[in-house]
Chains A and B, each alone.
Chain A
Amino acid sequence: NAGVMQNPRHLVRRRGQEARLRCSPMKGHSHVYWYRQLPEEGLKFMVYLQKENIIDESGMPKERFSAEFPKEGPSILRIQQVVRGDSAAYFCASSPQGAGTGELFFGEGSRLTVL
């Protein structure tokens, strides 16, 4: 039973390029969350999605960042025109239903480095 799969695990981009991070939730999970972790800091909520719907994007920067979770395929976090401050680990988590009373299953993260 595969866990939450994220790819790429490591991504290097130059300033101004685009970064696309993918997340396949656990089988049977229809709720996906993206969190960002800066070095030596805790995880910060970015966005919560269900299939084809963005439920809460209050943690997403207003510009350059977008997320989707299509009917078919993985969830994608897209960062356009990356800047050095975007360097971080981006974690995806999934749950079978809204995880207010249960655990979030985290992937191993995608580590973005912006040169």
Chain B
Amino acid sequence: QQPVQSPQAVILREGEDAVINCSSSKALYSVHWYRQKHGEAPVFLMILLKGGEQKGHDKISASFNEKKQQSSLYLTASQLSYSGTYFCGTEEGGTSYGKLTFGQGTILTVHP
């Protein structure tokens, strides 16, 4: 069963913040976040492992609440280059070889 992402779409002005959520009904081993621009390959953003952690680089960070099986991606001071579709990909407990179940995606549009 695929994880559920919310919201489905977000529209921002440059400099604004956004949060994208990813929720699963299964016990998770890891959560991966990718961004895909139209017609291009998905690009890795970060991975969070069970044990509950928070990661970040530049102005993009993420958290993973293992008990709730939820992850959130935080984008602060958004830039035009942040526009794209964001996917979370999850691996269930017991498997850890890259077999990801992706959410349906969140479309982020950043305007000047």
Interface residues of A (CB under 8 A from B): 4, 31, 33, 35, 41-45, 48, 55-56, 58, 91, 93, 95, 98-109
Contacts and interface: CB of A to CB of B under 8 A. Distances in A.
Interface residues of B, number: 26
Contacts of B2: 42
B97 A55 contact: yes
Contact of B96 (A31, A98, A107): A98
Given A41-B104, A42-B2, A42-B103, A99 B98 contact: yes
5 contacts: A56-B97, A91-B42, A102-B47, A103-B32, A109-B41
B47 A103 contact: yes
Contacts of A108: 40-41
Given A42-B102, A98-B97, 12 more contacts: A41-B105, A42-B2, A43-B102, A48-B98, A55-B97, A93-B98, A98-B98, A101-B96, A103-B47, A104-B44, A106-B34, A108-B41
Given A42-B2, A42-B87, A43-B102, A99 B97 contact: yes
A93 B98 CA distance: 10
Interface in B53-112: 87, 89, 91, 95-105
A101 B105 contact: no
Contacts of A107: 41
A103 to B, nearest CB: 4
A48 B99 contact: yes
B30 interface: yes
B22 to A, nearest CB: 11
